[in-house]
Structure 1
Amino acid sequence: MKVRSPMEIYRHLPQTNCGECGEMTCMAFASLLKERKKKLEECPPLMSDEYAEQREKIAEMLAPEIREVEIGVGDKAVKIGGEEVLHRHELTFFNRTALFYDVWDTLDADSLRERVHKIESWKKFYVGEFLRLNGIAVRSVSNDPEKFEECVKKVADTTDLPLVLCSFDPKIVERGLKHVAERRPLIYAATERSWSAFLELSKMYEVPVALFSQSLDVLTSLAVTFANAGVEDIVLDPCTHPMGKGLADTFTKFVKIRRAGIADGRKEIAYPLLSVPLTAWFFFDDPVEASYWEAIVASIFIIKYADIMILHGLQPHSLIVERTLVETIYTDPRRPVSVEPGLRIIGNPDGNSPLFLTTNFALTYYTVESDISSNKIDSYLLVVDTDGLGVEAAVAGGQLNADKVKDALEQYVDSRIEHKTIVIPGLAARISGETEEKTGWKVLVGPKDSGRIPDWIDKNWPPEV
């Protein structure tokens, strides 16, 4: 991690506070540069010749320790790599592990379209958003250039997801690549024997390339050769063995490569890493056992340190594990996952429907909202800004108090609600008295567990006058 404080960036900015970047001060702009929420180009004075030296210095400071590589184009393009730290708690991980699921060139046309559709349409609602899959890996199983070419064309006609073109034979890869080069696929994979042809493909079509070797020395040598030839968008695959000592060796390689790139500053090997948990399917005849083992291998390398994966199983019991783990590991540990504060309408409430209160910690909010809506309780839900903390922590830390409740009532509650009774969570019972005094509202203490709201409503609503 090169930059530990915005002040290090600020020293090289114009320091005029001109506001042309959209921020009030250069220090604010420096903070957003560090967080990757602004780009150097958004500071017009910095783009002038006068600040050329400072601009180059800042660009060098902001360059991530691991090279960032983009696969695909447009809104669905995925960025991999670009990491600064070995451990999430040191800063955060920026680019989620990209999950590419395979199709292959021996599938018939209908089966191919069906599988592509499954990959493209899969989604899972999780803490306020739909999780989706990142792309499709097209594998040459037939070793027939014509079949591979036709398969790539059919996939490209069916989806606009990013692609990985998979074959160790550069001639086969090129047959597919020439039809989709403008979509910037990753070509997989150059080896010690085929590196020269893959180098030419990468340069000719201007696409990222994966390098494959079980030897770290060979892998490093390949990376240096490609970089010296002007190819910058490189992905490294040290070979994924899914079982036994081979799995342990693979784990060690991943850790060694990432440590070399970040801790040791070895730029010649500081590239995104590719894992292939799909290899688990080569060891099991039973698809259930294979899918479970694939999920285990994927979980290991989502945590340590795969930037992109090629997988096979679309079974819910493995796919959900893989995708939700990515989301969990790649949340920002510095900021709780939160929702916007405000008044939510659940069902079709009228002026006498109950008004519940909760915090804006995403997991709390979606649990409460789900428990209310799934039980068809027409109501209002007041979401208070507690800096993304849950009820118990927010009460203990002062982020949920009588003043916060008063402010939320005044800001969000309107004439649609004809009564002045609010239901607070059972874990916030200790602020009930003070809240009544400061707001003038009657406060009812609800259950500690929102799953018990239906029973509570039956016994306590409407309230006694």
Structure 2
Amino acid sequence: MRKKAGPLDIYKYLPKINCKKCGEKTCMAFSSQLIERKVELKDCPHLKRESFKALEEILAPAVREVVFGKPTVSVGGEKVLYRHELTYFNQTAIAIDIHDEMGKEELSKRIEFVNNFAHERIGETLTLQAIAIRNRSGDVEKFDKCVEETAKRTKKALILCSWNSESLDKALRIVGDKKPLVYAATKNTWKEVGELAVKYNCPVVAFADNDISELKSVVNALQRMGINDIVIDPGSHLDSCTLNNFVMLRRSATNEDKVLNRPILGIPAAVYLQSGDGLKEAMAASLMMAKYADLIILHNIEIWALLPNITLRQNLYTDPRRPVRVEAGLKEFGSPDENSPVLLTTNFALTYYTVASDIESAKVDCYLIVLDTNGIGVEAAVAGRQLSASRVKKVIDETGIEKKIRHKKMVIPGLAARISGELEQLSGWKVLIGPKDSSEIGRFIERER
């Protein structure tokens, strides 16, 4: 298993002069930020060439990062097998497929869907990253026209899918400058497709259906041609073999396999095309994402199938070391005035957005003080003293809420009831103990008026 580099492993290669030209106060701080990918080696102006090369090797992710499309989509680049060992960096990219036998209306509808899809959840806008264009007809001219039409209508990254190298060549003449992902090089077509990848400087997918040895030989052949940006597709079926292959490939990468250390492509759309069952496709997508797929291609665009998977993706790719949080401070809901109630909550994202949603649903005009608890929920924050009377008193002063209202009453969460007495003494405010469940806020405010 690849040894995880720590700050000291990085620090010994740095100049150790604390010049601050990299933007960090010390070289040790710079080494920590390198691990977090928040700075780059080139940011250190005093780094020697030998040290630069050594650090490049140390910091290289277990899974090679591949970038395709304009605007760019990054896939792979992961350092660990399990998220809790560090974190995952590049979310699974999701592409929606179209093909060259679709009617104009359906084609336009699917492209516009991908362009406009946006779902807000916990302060993050969830989107789709790419469009996969399939050469279903096998006809060079039809594929060419479909690619040209799609390129005019979208700014999303493109994946060109054809078993015919001639179709790919003609399509790349149109969109080669957009750096599409080229699908696919097989044991029979690796040379022709590899030459196209070299000619147009595009990343390529190596494919072998449920045969890891064959997949490895295709990747080896592409590497010998000087191609490094390779995505691997071991085949996609709704069965244990597919998932086992995904896991074996990722384990192999983290064990320093220099051939199969590539981003994994899963195609749940293949499950849909085989079965015609959108539910099976959605299930396959969730399983593939949970088992290390770095890029997936979907067919079904019904919201009931997409929403669970984009939510799952967001959950998988949150940083386990840092609770999801929102900006602390004073928030206004509706049109509050000097007589409006003042409520308190924490900046843990799930807590905040639940409370905010319940306030909006109840149509309550109010002020909401969001206390910085380092992204910890109410009950745990009270126990850990991130939510304490002294900290609430401090945020009352910092937000200037007393200048906006005529009263001095505050509603605190029911789970924070034990700080109410101390808070009244410190602040001089009357503290009302609100409901434990924010869905009761509307009724609580009505009763207190």
User: Which residue number corresponds to residue 261 of structure 1?
Assistant: 253
Aligned partner of residue 216 in structure 2, secondary structure: helix
CA distance, structure 2, for counterparts of residue 52 and residue 204 of structure 1: 31
Aligned: 1:154 with 2:155: no
Flag structure 1 segments of 5+ consecutive residues without an equivalent.
none
User: Which residue number corresponds to residue 431 of structure 2?
Assistant: 443
User: Which residue number corresponds to residue 35 of structure 1?
Assistant: 36
Query: What are the residue-to-residue correspondences of 1:104-115 with 2, within 5 Å?
Result: 104-115=99-110
397, 406, 414: which is aligned to 1:418?
406
User: Retained in 2: the 8 A contact 1:3–1:34?
Assistant: no
User: Which residue number corresponds to residue 222 of structure 1?
Assistant: 218
Aligned: 1:62 with 2:59: yes
CA distance, structure 2, for counterparts of residue 145 and residue 387 of structure 1: 56
CA displacement at 1:129 relative to structure 2 = 2.0
Aligned partner of residue 84 in structure 1, secondary structure: coil
* Percentage of pairs with the same residue: 46
286, 299, 316: which is aligned to 2:286?
299
User: Retained in 1: the 8 A contact 2:15–2:46?
Assistant: yes
120, 130, 137: which is aligned to 2:132?
137
User: Retained in 1: the 8 A contact 2:332–2:366?
Assistant: yes
CA distance, structure 2, for counterparts of residue 379 and residue 155 of structure 1: 47
Aligned: 1:250 with 2:242: yes
Aligned: 1:460 with 2:443: no
- Deviations 1:306-365 (Å, cap 9, x if unpaired)? 000111000111110111111111111110000010000111100110010000000100
Aligned: 1:204 with 2:204: no
User: Which residue number corresponds to residue 279 of structure 1?
Assistant: 270
Aligned partner of residue 114 in structure 2, secondary structure: helix
User: Retained in 2: the 8 A contact 1:2–1:61?
Assistant: no
Amino acid at match of 1:431: I
CA displacement at 1:2 relative to structure 2 = 4.2
Amino acid at match of 2:253: G
- Deviations 1:84-123 (Å, cap 9, x if unpaired)? 1111111111111110000111112232112100111112
Query: What are the residue-to-residue correspondences of 1:65-464 with 2, within 5 Å?
Result: 65-74=62-71, 77-214=72-209, 215-242=211-238, 247-262=239-254, 264-285=255-276, 290-414=277-401, 415-461=403-449
Amino acid at match of 2:157: P
Amino acid at match of 1:53: E
CA distance, structure 1, for counterparts of residue 3 and residue 90 of structure 2: 18
CA distance, structure 2, for counterparts of residue 417 and residue 228 of structure 1: 72
Amino acid at match of 1:154: E
Q: How many residues align?
A: 446
Amino acid at match of 1:257: L
| Closer, same or farther: CA 213–341 of 1 in aligned 2, 3 Å | same
Amino acid at match of 2:138: N
Amino acid at match of 1:227: Q
User: Which residue number corresponds to residue 7 of structure 1?
Assistant: 8
- Deviations 1:262-285 (Å, cap 9, x if unpaired)? 0x2111110000011011223334
CA distance, structure 1, for counterparts of residue 155 and residue 325 of structure 2: 31
User: Retained in 1: the 8 A contact 2:236–2:271?
Assistant: no
TM-score under structure 1 length normalisation: 0.94
Amino acid at match of 1:418: R
Aligned partner of residue 228 in structure 2, secondary structure: coil
User: Retained in 1: the 8 A contact 2:216–2:260?
Assistant: yes
CA distance, structure 1, for counterparts of residue 75 and residue 177 of structure 2: 19
CA distance, structure 1, for counterparts of residue 224 and residue 275 of structure 2: 41
Structure 1, 4-13 or 139-148: larger mean CA deviation: 4-13
CA distance, structure 2, for counterparts of residue 381 and residue 261 of structure 1: 48
CA distance, structure 1, for counterparts of residue 384 and residue 144 of structure 2: 61
CA displacement at 1:430 relative to structure 2 = 0.6
Aligned partner of residue 143 in structure 1, secondary structure: coil
CA distance, structure 2, for counterparts of residue 193 and residue 374 of structure 1: 59
CA distance, structure 2, for counterparts of residue 322 and residue 371 of structure 1: 25
CA distance, structure 2, for counterparts of residue 218 and residue 396 of structure 1: 56
Amino acid at match of 2:145: E
- Deviations 1:367-426 (Å, cap 9, x if unpaired)? 101111222111000000001011011111111111110111111134112321111000
CA distance, structure 2, for counterparts of residue 65 and residue 7 of structure 1: 19
CA distance, structure 2, for counterparts of residue 113 and residue 457 of structure 1: 49
Aligned partner of residue 197 in structure 2, secondary structure: helix
Aligned partner of residue 275 in structure 2, secondary structure: coil
CA distance, structure 2, for counterparts of residue 241 and residue 345 of structure 1: 50
Moved over 2 A (4+): 1-4, 108-111, 282-285
User: Retained in 1: the 8 A contact 2:5–2:58?
Assistant: no
CA distance, structure 2, for counterparts of residue 252 and residue 375 of structure 1: 48
